[in-house]
Amino acid sequence: MPTLSLEPPVTHVLASGPDRLRSSAKAEDLERHSCVMFLRYEWIEDSLKEGKLMPPDPYRLIVHNTSIEKSLTSSTTTTATVAVGCLQMLIAPIAGPQKLNHKGKEESGALGEVVSSMIGKEGKQKKGRGGESDSEEERTKEEDCRGDILTRYLGTTAPAAADALEPCSTSLNTHITRILWELHDLYEGVLDDGNRALIYRKVASEIDKLSYKVTSASQLDKMEGIGQSTRVKIKEILRTGKLEMLEVLLANPKVSVLQLFMSVWGIGPKTATEMYNRGYRTLEDLKRESSLERMPRLGLKYYADILQRIPRVEAVELEKVVVGVAKELYPGVLAQATGSFRRGKASCGDIDFVISHPDGNSHRGLLAKLVARLTDIQFISDGLQDRSRGPQAPGHYEVDTYMGLCKLQGARHYRRIDIKVYPIRAHPFGLLHFTGNDIFNRRIRELAKKKGYKLNDHGLFPTVGEGQNIRSGTESIPCATEREILEKLGMPYLEPHERNW
Protein backbone atom coordinates (compact mmCIF):
# COMPACT_ATOMS: atom_id res chain seq x y z
CA MET A 1 0.00 0.00 0.00
CA PRO A 2 1.40 3.37 -0.94
CA THR A 3 2.17 5.53 2.02
CA LEU A 4 0.26 8.71 2.37
CA SER A 5 2.34 11.75 2.88
CA LEU A 6 0.61 14.28 5.05
CA GLU A 7 3.37 16.84 4.99
CA PRO A 8 2.75 20.35 3.75
CA PRO A 9 1.66 21.44 1.21
CA VAL A 10 -1.14 18.94 1.81
CA THR A 11 -3.97 20.66 3.60
CA HIS A 12 -6.95 18.42 2.96
CA VAL A 13 -7.42 14.69 2.81
CA LEU A 14 -10.57 13.46 1.19
CA ALA A 15 -12.04 10.08 1.77
CA SER A 16 -15.25 8.32 1.08
CA GLY A 17 -15.84 7.70 4.74
CA PRO A 18 -14.32 7.25 8.16
CA ASP A 19 -13.56 3.59 7.73
CA ARG A 20 -11.57 4.16 4.68
CA LEU A 21 -9.39 6.49 6.62
CA ARG A 22 -9.11 4.16 9.54
CA SER A 23 -8.23 1.21 7.44
CA SER A 24 -5.85 3.02 5.17
CA ALA A 25 -3.65 4.87 7.55
CA LYS A 26 -2.29 4.32 10.99
CA ALA A 27 -4.31 6.07 13.61
CA GLU A 28 -1.17 7.62 15.05
CA ASP A 29 -0.36 9.15 11.73
CA LEU A 30 -3.76 10.71 11.56
CA GLU A 31 -3.39 12.13 15.01
CA ARG A 32 0.10 13.34 14.47
CA HIS A 33 -0.93 15.17 11.38
CA SER A 34 -3.85 16.90 12.89
CA CYS A 35 -3.07 20.05 10.96
CA VAL A 36 -4.63 18.34 7.97
CA MET A 37 -8.34 18.32 7.49
CA PHE A 38 -10.05 15.03 6.86
CA LEU A 39 -13.18 15.55 4.84
CA ARG A 40 -15.74 13.68 2.89
CA TYR A 41 -15.11 13.93 -0.78
CA GLU A 42 -18.39 15.78 -1.24
CA TRP A 43 -16.62 18.77 0.14
CA ILE A 44 -14.65 19.19 -3.05
CA GLU A 45 -17.64 18.33 -5.19
CA ASP A 46 -19.77 20.94 -3.54
CA SER A 47 -16.92 23.42 -3.58
CA LEU A 48 -16.76 23.11 -7.30
CA LYS A 49 -20.50 23.36 -7.63
CA GLU A 50 -20.61 26.50 -5.54
CA GLY A 51 -17.55 27.96 -7.15
CA LYS A 52 -15.84 28.50 -3.84
CA LEU A 53 -14.37 26.53 -1.01
CA MET A 54 -17.08 25.31 1.28
CA PRO A 55 -16.78 25.41 5.04
CA PRO A 56 -15.28 22.15 6.20
CA ASP A 57 -17.47 21.40 9.16
CA PRO A 58 -20.38 19.57 7.63
CA TYR A 59 -17.96 17.41 5.71
CA ARG A 60 -15.63 16.40 8.48
CA LEU A 61 -14.84 12.76 8.95
CA ILE A 62 -14.87 11.70 12.52
CA VAL A 63 -11.96 9.37 12.67
CA HIS A 64 -11.02 9.03 16.27
CA ASN A 65 -13.53 11.26 17.96
CA THR A 66 -10.53 13.09 19.21
CA SER A 67 -7.85 15.04 17.51
CA ILE A 68 -9.27 15.23 14.06
CA GLU A 69 -12.38 17.03 15.06
CA LYS A 70 -10.78 19.79 16.98
CA SER A 71 -8.19 20.51 14.36
CA LEU A 72 -8.28 23.52 12.14
CA THR A 73 -11.82 24.54 12.61
CA SER A 74 -11.75 27.91 11.04
CA SER A 75 -8.71 28.45 8.90
CA THR A 76 -10.17 27.93 5.51
CA THR A 77 -7.38 28.21 3.07
CA THR A 78 -7.84 29.83 -0.26
CA THR A 79 -6.49 26.94 -2.16
CA ALA A 80 -6.76 23.33 -1.31
CA THR A 81 -4.16 20.72 -1.83
CA VAL A 82 -5.52 17.28 -1.85
CA ALA A 83 -3.45 14.32 -0.88
CA VAL A 84 -3.93 11.58 -3.35
CA GLY A 85 -2.98 8.00 -3.10
CA CYS A 86 -3.38 6.09 0.13
CA LEU A 87 -4.73 3.04 -1.54
CA GLN A 88 -8.09 3.75 -3.06
CA MET A 89 -9.33 6.12 -0.48
CA LEU A 90 -9.24 9.31 -2.43
CA ILE A 91 -11.35 10.77 -5.08
CA ALA A 92 -8.89 12.05 -7.56
CA PRO A 93 -7.87 9.43 -10.05
CA ILE A 94 -4.24 8.52 -9.95
CA ALA A 95 -3.78 8.24 -13.66
CA GLY A 96 -4.45 11.01 -16.07
CA PRO A 97 -3.12 14.39 -16.98
CA GLN A 98 -3.00 15.95 -13.55
CA LYS A 99 0.34 16.13 -11.87
CA LEU A 100 0.26 13.75 -8.99
CA ASN A 101 3.37 12.18 -7.70
CA HIS A 102 3.53 8.70 -6.40
CA LYS A 103 3.70 9.66 -2.81
CA GLY A 104 0.26 11.03 -3.16
CA LYS A 105 0.91 14.72 -3.22
CA GLU A 106 -0.81 17.01 -5.56
CA GLU A 107 1.80 19.42 -6.77
CA SER A 108 0.13 22.47 -8.12
CA GLY A 109 -2.51 22.87 -5.49
CA ALA A 110 -5.06 23.94 -8.02
CA LEU A 111 -8.52 23.05 -6.92
CA GLY A 112 -10.02 23.14 -10.33
CA GLU A 113 -7.48 20.83 -11.78
CA VAL A 114 -8.05 18.06 -9.35
CA VAL A 115 -11.75 18.48 -9.40
CA SER A 116 -12.14 18.55 -13.11
CA SER A 117 -10.23 15.37 -13.50
CA MET A 118 -12.48 13.87 -10.92
CA ILE A 119 -15.64 14.86 -12.64
CA GLY A 120 -14.65 13.08 -15.76
CA LYS A 121 -14.25 9.90 -13.83
CA GLU A 122 -17.30 10.01 -11.63
CA GLY A 123 -19.84 10.03 -14.31
CA LYS A 124 -22.40 7.38 -14.18
CA GLN A 125 -25.36 6.95 -11.97
CA LYS A 126 -28.14 4.59 -12.58
CA LYS A 127 -31.20 3.27 -10.98
CA GLY A 128 -30.57 -0.12 -9.52
CA ARG A 129 -27.14 0.88 -8.49
CA GLY A 130 -26.36 3.74 -6.23
CA GLY A 131 -29.94 3.77 -5.22
CA GLU A 132 -31.10 2.38 -1.95
CA SER A 133 -29.79 -0.95 -3.02
CA ASP A 134 -26.40 0.53 -2.48
CA SER A 135 -24.34 -1.87 -4.32
CA GLU A 136 -21.22 0.16 -4.35
CA GLU A 137 -19.03 -1.33 -1.77
CA GLU A 138 -15.41 -1.58 -1.30
CA ARG A 139 -13.55 -3.50 1.27
CA THR A 140 -10.22 -3.36 2.81
CA LYS A 141 -8.92 -6.18 4.90
CA GLU A 142 -9.77 -5.72 8.48
CA GLU A 143 -9.20 -8.82 10.53
CA ASP A 144 -10.74 -8.16 13.85
CA CYS A 145 -12.20 -10.73 16.15
CA ARG A 146 -15.68 -10.22 14.83
CA GLY A 147 -14.53 -11.37 11.45
CA ASP A 148 -14.35 -14.94 12.65
CA ILE A 149 -17.74 -14.86 14.22
CA LEU A 150 -19.33 -13.37 11.18
CA THR A 151 -17.65 -15.87 8.97
CA ARG A 152 -18.90 -18.67 11.13
CA TYR A 153 -22.45 -17.45 11.16
CA LEU A 154 -22.91 -15.80 7.86
CA GLY A 155 -20.23 -17.25 5.72
CA THR A 156 -18.63 -13.91 5.18
CA THR A 157 -17.15 -10.98 6.98
CA ALA A 158 -18.59 -7.53 7.04
CA PRO A 159 -16.86 -5.12 4.78
CA ALA A 160 -15.56 -1.84 5.95
CA ALA A 161 -17.91 0.84 4.82
CA ALA A 162 -17.12 2.25 1.47
CA ASP A 163 -19.69 4.97 1.42
CA ALA A 164 -20.91 6.27 -1.80
CA LEU A 165 -17.94 5.98 -4.04
CA GLU A 166 -18.85 4.32 -7.24
CA PRO A 167 -16.98 1.09 -7.64
CA CYS A 168 -15.58 2.49 -10.84
CA SER A 169 -13.83 5.28 -9.05
CA THR A 170 -11.77 3.09 -6.77
CA SER A 171 -11.55 -0.46 -7.94
CA LEU A 172 -8.50 -1.83 -9.61
CA ASN A 173 -10.68 -4.26 -11.48
CA THR A 174 -13.16 -2.13 -13.30
CA HIS A 175 -12.10 -3.78 -16.53
CA ILE A 176 -14.01 -6.78 -15.21
CA THR A 177 -16.57 -5.40 -12.85
CA ARG A 178 -17.87 -2.69 -15.14
CA ILE A 179 -19.26 -5.48 -17.25
CA LEU A 180 -20.53 -7.51 -14.30
CA TRP A 181 -22.30 -4.44 -12.94
CA GLU A 182 -23.94 -3.94 -16.30
CA LEU A 183 -25.16 -7.49 -16.22
CA HIS A 184 -26.47 -6.87 -12.75
CA ASP A 185 -28.36 -3.81 -13.94
CA LEU A 186 -29.83 -5.71 -16.85
CA TYR A 187 -30.99 -8.68 -14.80
CA GLU A 188 -32.29 -6.42 -12.10
CA GLY A 189 -34.22 -4.52 -14.68
CA VAL A 190 -35.09 -5.49 -18.20
CA LEU A 191 -34.23 -9.16 -17.86
CA ASP A 192 -36.30 -9.31 -14.72
CA ASP A 193 -34.35 -11.89 -12.77
CA GLY A 194 -33.52 -10.53 -9.36
CA ASN A 195 -31.85 -13.68 -8.15
CA ARG A 196 -29.44 -13.72 -11.00
CA ALA A 197 -28.84 -10.02 -10.56
CA LEU A 198 -27.92 -10.76 -6.99
CA ILE A 199 -25.19 -13.14 -8.10
CA TYR A 200 -23.62 -10.56 -10.37
CA ARG A 201 -23.89 -7.94 -7.69
CA LYS A 202 -22.16 -10.14 -5.21
CA VAL A 203 -19.39 -11.20 -7.55
CA ALA A 204 -18.82 -7.68 -8.85
CA SER A 205 -18.61 -6.16 -5.43
CA GLU A 206 -16.28 -8.90 -4.22
CA ILE A 207 -13.96 -8.34 -7.14
CA ASP A 208 -14.13 -4.60 -6.67
CA LYS A 209 -12.88 -5.12 -3.14
CA LEU A 210 -9.73 -6.93 -4.17
CA SER A 211 -6.58 -5.01 -3.50
CA TYR A 212 -4.84 -6.38 -6.56
CA LYS A 213 -5.61 -6.35 -10.22
CA VAL A 214 -7.02 -9.57 -11.56
CA THR A 215 -5.20 -10.76 -14.65
CA SER A 216 -6.18 -14.39 -14.70
CA ALA A 217 -9.38 -16.17 -13.86
CA SER A 218 -7.51 -18.61 -11.68
CA GLN A 219 -6.94 -15.82 -9.20
CA LEU A 220 -10.62 -16.04 -8.42
CA ASP A 221 -10.64 -19.76 -7.73
CA LYS A 222 -10.84 -19.43 -4.00
CA MET A 223 -13.62 -16.91 -4.19
CA GLU A 224 -16.94 -18.40 -3.27
CA GLY A 225 -19.99 -17.43 -5.20
CA ILE A 226 -18.24 -17.68 -8.53
CA GLY A 227 -19.29 -20.67 -10.53
CA GLN A 228 -18.66 -22.12 -13.92
CA SER A 229 -20.75 -19.66 -15.80
CA THR A 230 -19.32 -16.52 -14.28
CA ARG A 231 -15.82 -17.86 -14.58
CA VAL A 232 -16.25 -18.38 -18.29
CA LYS A 233 -17.53 -14.84 -18.68
CA ILE A 234 -14.60 -13.42 -16.76
CA LYS A 235 -12.20 -15.40 -18.92
CA GLU A 236 -13.76 -13.91 -22.00
CA ILE A 237 -13.47 -10.43 -20.51
CA LEU A 238 -9.82 -10.97 -19.67
CA ARG A 239 -9.14 -12.32 -23.14
CA THR A 240 -11.07 -9.86 -25.28
CA GLY A 241 -11.83 -6.96 -22.99
CA LYS A 242 -15.52 -7.36 -23.53
CA LEU A 243 -18.43 -9.75 -23.30
CA GLU A 244 -20.19 -10.64 -26.48
CA MET A 245 -23.45 -11.41 -24.78
CA LEU A 246 -23.52 -7.96 -23.17
CA GLU A 247 -22.63 -6.23 -26.40
CA VAL A 248 -25.53 -7.92 -28.11
CA LEU A 249 -27.93 -6.97 -25.36
CA LEU A 250 -26.83 -3.38 -25.26
CA ALA A 251 -27.00 -3.06 -29.00
CA ASN A 252 -30.66 -3.92 -28.81
CA PRO A 253 -32.61 -0.66 -28.97
CA LYS A 254 -35.49 -2.22 -27.10
CA VAL A 255 -33.27 -2.80 -24.13
CA SER A 256 -32.32 0.83 -23.80
CA VAL A 257 -35.89 1.98 -24.10
CA LEU A 258 -36.97 -0.46 -21.43
CA GLN A 259 -34.16 0.72 -19.20
CA LEU A 260 -35.22 4.29 -19.72
CA PHE A 261 -38.82 3.52 -18.83
CA MET A 262 -37.80 1.58 -15.77
CA SER A 263 -35.77 4.48 -14.50
CA VAL A 264 -39.12 6.09 -13.75
CA TRP A 265 -40.24 5.50 -10.17
CA GLY A 266 -43.25 3.21 -10.30
CA ILE A 267 -42.44 1.58 -13.60
CA GLY A 268 -41.04 -1.93 -13.46
CA PRO A 269 -40.36 -4.56 -16.10
CA LYS A 270 -43.99 -5.31 -16.83
CA THR A 271 -45.15 -1.77 -17.30
CA ALA A 272 -42.04 -0.87 -19.26
CA THR A 273 -42.64 -3.75 -21.64
CA GLU A 274 -46.30 -2.87 -21.92
CA MET A 275 -45.47 0.72 -22.83
CA TYR A 276 -42.89 -0.43 -25.33
CA ASN A 277 -45.42 -2.71 -26.96
CA ARG A 278 -47.81 0.18 -27.23
CA GLY A 279 -45.20 1.91 -29.31
CA TYR A 280 -43.83 4.41 -26.84
CA ARG A 281 -40.14 5.17 -27.04
CA THR A 282 -39.46 8.29 -25.00
CA LEU A 283 -40.46 9.74 -21.67
CA GLU A 284 -42.40 12.40 -23.52
CA ASP A 285 -44.41 9.62 -25.12
CA LEU A 286 -45.12 8.17 -21.70
CA LYS A 287 -46.49 11.42 -20.41
CA ARG A 288 -49.25 11.11 -22.98
CA GLU A 289 -50.31 7.70 -21.74
CA SER A 290 -53.41 8.10 -19.64
CA SER A 291 -53.43 4.61 -18.20
CA LEU A 292 -50.35 5.26 -16.13
CA GLU A 293 -51.17 5.21 -12.49
CA ARG A 294 -50.44 7.37 -9.58
CA MET A 295 -46.92 6.17 -8.91
CA PRO A 296 -45.47 6.43 -12.38
CA ARG A 297 -47.26 9.73 -12.92
CA LEU A 298 -45.44 11.23 -9.99
CA GLY A 299 -42.33 9.40 -11.07
CA LEU A 300 -42.51 11.23 -14.37
CA LYS A 301 -43.40 14.53 -12.82
CA TYR A 302 -40.34 14.44 -10.59
CA TYR A 303 -38.22 12.32 -12.89
CA ALA A 304 -35.10 14.46 -12.94
CA ASP A 305 -35.20 15.24 -9.24
CA ILE A 306 -35.72 11.67 -8.12
CA LEU A 307 -32.71 10.58 -10.14
CA GLN A 308 -30.47 13.02 -8.31
CA ARG A 309 -28.71 11.70 -5.29
CA ILE A 310 -28.90 13.62 -2.03
CA PRO A 311 -25.54 14.90 -0.82
CA ARG A 312 -24.97 14.01 2.79
CA VAL A 313 -24.87 17.62 3.88
CA GLU A 314 -28.36 18.12 2.54
CA ALA A 315 -29.57 14.91 4.13
CA VAL A 316 -28.39 16.31 7.44
CA GLU A 317 -30.64 19.32 6.90
CA LEU A 318 -33.58 17.16 5.88
CA GLU A 319 -33.16 15.16 9.04
CA LYS A 320 -33.16 18.32 11.13
CA VAL A 321 -36.46 19.40 9.67
CA VAL A 322 -38.30 16.14 10.18
CA VAL A 323 -36.86 15.37 13.58
CA GLY A 324 -37.42 18.95 14.68
CA VAL A 325 -41.05 18.96 13.70
CA ALA A 326 -41.63 15.52 15.20
CA LYS A 327 -40.16 16.59 18.53
CA GLU A 328 -42.14 19.78 18.51
CA LEU A 329 -45.36 17.81 18.05
CA TYR A 330 -44.40 14.92 20.30
CA PRO A 331 -41.81 15.66 22.94
CA GLY A 332 -39.82 12.57 23.74
CA VAL A 333 -40.39 11.08 20.32
CA LEU A 334 -37.72 8.82 18.84
CA ALA A 335 -37.05 10.00 15.32
CA GLN A 336 -34.07 9.55 13.09
CA ALA A 337 -33.04 9.16 9.50
CA THR A 338 -32.09 5.60 8.66
CA GLY A 339 -31.28 3.95 5.35
CA SER A 340 -28.01 4.66 3.65
CA PHE A 341 -27.77 7.95 5.51
CA ARG A 342 -27.47 6.14 8.80
CA ARG A 343 -24.97 3.77 7.27
CA GLY A 344 -22.75 6.75 6.72
CA LYS A 345 -23.02 7.00 2.97
CA ALA A 346 -21.71 10.18 1.45
CA SER A 347 -24.87 10.52 -0.59
CA CYS A 348 -28.26 8.90 -0.51
CA GLY A 349 -30.87 8.00 -3.08
CA ASP A 350 -33.63 8.97 -0.71
CA ILE A 351 -34.12 9.65 2.95
CA ASP A 352 -35.90 7.25 5.31
CA PHE A 353 -37.19 8.02 8.75
CA VAL A 354 -38.10 5.62 11.51
CA ILE A 355 -40.16 7.08 14.30
CA SER A 356 -41.58 5.75 17.53
CA HIS A 357 -42.62 6.95 20.94
CA PRO A 358 -41.50 5.48 24.23
CA ASP A 359 -44.82 6.09 25.92
CA GLY A 360 -46.21 3.16 23.97
CA ASN A 361 -49.25 5.05 22.79
CA SER A 362 -48.35 8.23 20.96
CA HIS A 363 -47.42 6.43 17.78
CA ARG A 364 -51.10 6.16 16.97
CA GLY A 365 -52.05 9.00 14.69
CA LEU A 366 -48.57 10.41 14.86
CA LEU A 367 -47.82 10.01 11.20
CA ALA A 368 -50.93 11.81 10.00
CA LYS A 369 -50.21 14.74 12.25
CA LEU A 370 -46.57 14.85 11.30
CA VAL A 371 -47.32 14.72 7.60
CA ALA A 372 -49.96 17.43 7.96
CA ARG A 373 -47.49 19.68 9.72
CA LEU A 374 -44.72 18.97 7.23
CA THR A 375 -47.14 19.78 4.45
CA ASP A 376 -48.14 23.01 6.20
CA ILE A 377 -44.62 24.25 6.30
CA GLN A 378 -44.31 23.31 2.64
CA PHE A 379 -41.69 20.70 3.25
CA ILE A 380 -43.66 17.78 1.90
CA SER A 381 -45.16 18.20 -1.54
CA ASP A 382 -46.69 15.00 -2.88
CA GLY A 383 -47.56 11.72 -1.32
CA LEU A 384 -46.69 8.80 -3.56
CA GLN A 385 -49.38 6.67 -2.05
CA ASP A 386 -53.05 7.12 -1.54
CA ARG A 387 -53.40 6.91 2.23
CA SER A 388 -57.16 6.80 2.12
CA ARG A 389 -57.40 3.03 2.41
CA GLY A 390 -55.62 3.04 5.71
CA PRO A 391 -53.02 0.52 6.77
CA GLN A 392 -53.42 -2.76 4.94
CA ALA A 393 -51.20 -4.93 7.08
CA PRO A 394 -52.69 -8.35 7.77
CA GLY A 395 -51.90 -8.49 11.46
CA HIS A 396 -52.53 -4.77 11.86
CA TYR A 397 -49.15 -4.19 13.31
CA GLU A 398 -49.77 -0.54 13.81
CA VAL A 399 -46.99 0.39 11.46
CA ASP A 400 -47.76 3.50 9.54
CA THR A 401 -45.96 4.44 6.36
CA TYR A 402 -45.62 7.56 4.29
CA MET A 403 -43.83 7.75 0.98
CA GLY A 404 -43.55 11.02 -0.80
CA LEU A 405 -41.51 13.98 -1.88
CA CYS A 406 -40.10 16.88 0.06
CA LYS A 407 -37.94 19.90 -0.49
CA LEU A 408 -35.90 22.16 1.72
CA GLN A 409 -36.67 25.81 1.47
CA GLY A 410 -34.66 27.22 -1.40
CA ALA A 411 -33.25 23.85 -2.37
CA ARG A 412 -32.84 22.87 -5.98
CA HIS A 413 -34.41 19.45 -5.89
CA TYR A 414 -37.35 17.60 -4.56
CA ARG A 415 -36.24 14.54 -2.61
CA ARG A 416 -37.78 11.17 -2.04
CA ILE A 417 -38.75 10.73 1.56
CA ASP A 418 -40.15 7.74 3.45
CA ILE A 419 -41.43 7.92 6.98
CA LYS A 420 -42.51 4.95 9.09
CA VAL A 421 -43.97 5.07 12.53
CA TYR A 422 -43.70 2.04 14.80
CA PRO A 423 -45.12 1.10 18.15
CA ILE A 424 -42.29 1.14 20.62
CA ARG A 425 -41.95 -2.64 20.92
CA ALA A 426 -41.25 -2.86 17.20
CA HIS A 427 -39.00 0.18 17.02
CA PRO A 428 -35.64 -1.63 17.09
CA PHE A 429 -36.88 -4.02 14.44
CA GLY A 430 -37.99 -1.16 12.25
CA LEU A 431 -34.68 0.55 12.75
CA LEU A 432 -32.74 -2.56 11.87
CA HIS A 433 -34.86 -3.20 8.83
CA PHE A 434 -34.79 0.29 7.37
CA THR A 435 -31.14 0.81 8.05
CA GLY A 436 -30.35 -2.15 5.83
CA ASN A 437 -28.70 -2.52 3.52
CA ASP A 438 -30.85 -5.03 1.71
CA ILE A 439 -28.10 -7.63 1.50
CA PHE A 440 -27.44 -7.35 5.19
CA ASN A 441 -31.16 -7.78 5.86
CA ARG A 442 -31.36 -10.86 3.74
CA ARG A 443 -28.43 -12.44 5.47
CA ILE A 444 -29.68 -11.88 8.99
CA ARG A 445 -33.12 -13.09 8.00
CA GLU A 446 -31.64 -16.16 6.46
CA LEU A 447 -29.69 -16.71 9.65
CA ALA A 448 -32.82 -16.16 11.71
CA LYS A 449 -34.63 -18.75 9.66
CA LYS A 450 -31.85 -21.28 10.18
CA LYS A 451 -32.12 -20.71 13.89
CA GLY A 452 -35.82 -21.27 13.95
CA TYR A 453 -37.09 -17.73 13.79
CA LYS A 454 -38.73 -15.42 11.36
CA LEU A 455 -37.30 -11.93 11.37
CA ASN A 456 -39.12 -9.00 9.84
CA ASP A 457 -39.46 -5.30 10.48
CA HIS A 458 -41.66 -5.66 13.52
CA GLY A 459 -40.32 -8.59 15.40
CA LEU A 460 -38.46 -11.82 15.81
CA PHE A 461 -40.89 -14.71 15.82
CA PRO A 462 -40.07 -18.23 16.92
CA THR A 463 -41.10 -20.87 14.43
CA VAL A 464 -43.64 -23.18 16.02
CA GLY A 465 -45.14 -26.47 14.97
CA GLU A 466 -43.52 -29.17 12.91
CA GLY A 467 -43.63 -30.80 9.51
CA GLN A 468 -46.77 -29.81 7.66
CA ASN A 469 -48.10 -27.10 9.89
CA ILE A 470 -44.87 -25.28 10.45
CA ARG A 471 -45.52 -21.62 10.97
CA SER A 472 -44.28 -18.73 13.02
CA GLY A 473 -45.65 -17.62 16.31
CA THR A 474 -47.50 -14.39 16.66
CA GLU A 475 -45.60 -13.17 19.68
CA SER A 476 -42.27 -11.57 18.99
CA ILE A 477 -39.32 -12.13 21.21
CA PRO A 478 -38.97 -8.75 22.87
CA CYS A 479 -35.86 -6.76 22.05
CA ALA A 480 -35.21 -3.25 23.25
CA THR A 481 -32.31 -2.51 20.94
CA GLU A 482 -30.82 -3.56 17.65
CA ARG A 483 -27.95 -5.01 19.61
CA GLU A 484 -30.33 -7.37 21.40
CA ILE A 485 -31.80 -8.56 18.14
CA LEU A 486 -28.41 -9.42 16.75
CA GLU A 487 -27.43 -11.04 20.02
CA LYS A 488 -30.47 -13.28 19.90
CA LEU A 489 -29.25 -14.35 16.50
CA GLY A 490 -25.82 -15.04 17.91
CA MET A 491 -24.24 -12.19 16.04
CA PRO A 492 -21.96 -9.49 17.28
CA TYR A 493 -23.35 -5.99 17.05
CA LEU A 494 -22.52 -4.16 13.88
CA GLU A 495 -22.53 -0.41 13.67
CA PRO A 496 -24.73 0.95 10.90
CA HIS A 497 -21.70 1.79 8.77
CA GLU A 498 -20.67 -1.85 9.06
CA ARG A 499 -23.86 -2.99 7.40
CA ASN A 500 -22.93 -1.87 3.91
CA TRP A 501 -22.92 -5.39 2.49
Partner DNA sequence: AGGCAATACTG
Partner DNA sequence: CAGTAT
Partner DNA sequence: GCCT
List active site positions. 233
Q: How many angstroms separate the CA atoms of 200 and 401, rounded?
A: 32
Instruction: Name residue 416's amino acid.
Output: R
151 binds DNA (CB under 7 A): no
Considering the rule CB under 7 A, would residue 299 count as an interface residue with DNA?
Answer: yes
Least distance in Å: CB of 194 to DNA? 8
Q: In 17-141, which residue ranges form alpha helices assigned H by DSSP?
A: 18-24, 27-32, 42-50, 67-70, 111-122
* CA dihedral of 366, 367, 369, 371, whole degrees rounded to 10: 160
Q: Which residue type, as a one-letter code, is found at position 87? A: L
Whether residue 83 contacts residue 106, with contact meaning beta carbons closer than 8 Å, is answered with yes
Q: Specify the residue, 88 or 271, whose C-beta has the smaller distance to DNA.
A: 271
Task: Please say which residue, 113 or 400, places its beta carbon nearer to DNA.
Answer: 400
Question: Is 30:51 a contact under the CB 8 Å cutoff?
Answer: no
Nearest 10 degrees: Cα torsion 77, 82, 86, 89: 100
Distances from the Cα of 69 to the Cα of 7, 14, 39, 439, angstroms: 19, 14, 10, 32
Q: Where in 170-199 is the site for DNA (CB under 7 A)?
A: 195-196, 198-199
Report the half-sphere exposure of 302 (CA within 13 A, side-chain side): 25
Does the protein bind DNA through residue 98 (CB under 7 A)?
no
* DSSP type of residue 258: H
Q: Quick check: 134 binds DNA (CB under 7 A)?
A: no
Q: Of the two residues 376 and 446, which places its CB atom closer to DNA in the complex? A: 446
DSSP state letter for 219 = G
Binding residues for DNA, how many (CB under 7 A)? 60
User: Are 405 and 416 in contact, with CB atoms under 8 Å apart?
Assistant: yes
Residue from 158, 370, 403, 417 in contact with DNA (CB under 7 A): 403
- Exactly one of 98, 205, 271, 476 binds DNA (CB under 7 A); which one? 271
**Contact code string over 211-230 relative to DNA, x by CB under 7 A:** -------------xxxxxxx
* Residue 501 touches DNA, criterion: CB under 7 A: no
Nearer to DNA, 24 or 157 (CB): 157
- Please, which residue, 279 or 394, has the CB nearer to DNA? 394
Q: Does 257 bind DNA (CB under 7 A)?
A: no
Displacement of CA 200 from its chain's centroid (Å):
17
- Give CA–CA dist 219/433, Å, rounded: 36
Please report whether residue 473 would count as binding DNA according to CB under 7 A.
no
9 upstream amide cis, omega within 30 of 0? yes
By CB under 7 A, is residue 235 in contact with DNA? no
Residue 115 engages DNA in binding (rule: CB under 7 A): no
13 binds DNA (CB under 7 A): no
Task: Report in angstroms how near the CB of residue 441 gets to DNA at its nearest.
Answer: 5
Nearest to DNA of 12, 499 (CB atom): 499
Asked if 270 touches DNA (CB under 7 A), the answer is yes
- Report which of 63, 83, 76 is spatially closest to residue 19, judged by C-alpha positions: 63
Contact footprint for DNA (CB under 7 A): 131-132, 195-196, 198-199, 224-231, 233, 262, 264-272, 293-295, 299, 339, 350, 352, 385-387, 389, 391-395, 397, 399-401, 403, 416, 418, 434, 438, 441-442, 445-446, 448-449, 454-457
